[in-house]
Amino acid sequence: MEIGVGLPTMTGGLTTERLRAWAQGAEAYGFSGLAVLDRLVCDGAEPLVALAVAAAVTERIRLSTQVLIPTYRGNTALLAKQTATIHRLSRGRLVVGVAAGIRADDHEVSGTDFHSRGRDLDRLLEELTRLWGDASFGPPLHDDRPELLVGGRSDAALVRMARYAAGTVVVAPPQQFAQRAGQALEFWKAHGREGRPRLVAQTYFSLGPDGADEARRHLGSYYAFAGPVAQWIAASALTTPEAVAEAVVAYRRAGCDELTFIPCSTDVRQLDMLAAAVKESP
């Protein structure tokens, strides 16, 4: 199982210096990928811009959206151009994870329809994959296009994954992840796909003496729209080295291909502590 780490783009206060330090540090430690989340109405960095910066200061590490909400962007041709550009300039390191999203305010402020986002995403994925092979957008990305992943909790998301993508992104504890992985494989086979889907998991972490408090502050605020669920999400963050090591073992046993740890702080020392904790896992 590969281990990836998120860029702290949603925590607020991210500077060029800290982004560079996170990206280069993650690559130096040997993490498999750098992932970004996507929100429009929040004090965070735009994910594709952040990945472009990370691409410029790294050489090997994968660059992943986990996940991008493309339907509020409203312009598939522009999205195809942006993602193709990052993929080319990073020499083929971009992974595009997408989902329909759960925030109405992101759609409202962008003038797109929140209620039709599922149907819109189906059309968008069809068009996006076509545009990646269109010479009018630059050298066509036929055999060297970004890996496409689909996230989401619904059966419709699994159908989307089986139709268009190489795999799925799951945000769930290990036991629920294993169940979702089994469902993903069923949908995959039902759509006549060979092999198996790539299975990516995602979990929050916040280490050190103030780690638990930092997780409660950040995740409680970030998910405040969800009401009491916000505190459950905050409590699920991994806040000790032992919890990180146990998560690595549990997700590996659940069939995960890549586990991505999403930070709750821009403090680059979090990256150092995470690398040490992962190293201690059996």
CATH code for position 244: 3.20.20.30
State the number of CA atoms in the 13 A half-sphere of 6 facing the CB.
28
Residue 30 tokens, joined: 């040997």
Query: 155-164 and 174-190 are packed helices; what angle lies between their axes, rounded to 10 degrees?
Result: 50
pLDDT given at position 134? 84
pLDDT at 280: 82
Tokens describing residue 143: 């055999």
pLDDT in tens, the chain (282 residues): 999 999 999 998 899 999 999 999 999 999 999 999 999 998 899 999 999 999 999 999 999 999 999 999 989 999 999 999 999 999 999 999 999 999 999 999 999 999 999 999 999 999 999 999 888 777 777 678 999 999 998 999 999 999 999 999 999 999 999 999 999 999 999 999 999 999 999 999 999 999 999 999 999 999 988 888 888 999 999 999 999 999 999 999 999 999 999 999 999 999 999 999 999 888
CA gap 238, 126 in Å, rounded: 37
How many structural domains compose the chain? 1
Please give the pLDDT value at position 225.
87
Q: Provide the domain limits for residue 90.
A: 2-279
Q: Are 207 and 240 in contact (CB under 8 A)?
A: yes
Q: Is the pTM of this model over 0.75?
A: yes
Q: Which long-range contacts (CB under 8 A, 24 or more apart) does 236-239 make?
A: 236/173, 236/203, 236/204, 237/203, 237/204, 237/205, 237/206, 237/211, 237/212, 237/264, 238/203, 238/204, 238/205, 238/206, 238/207, 239/205, 239/206, 239/207, 239/211, 239/212, 239/215
- The pLDDT of residue 151 is 96
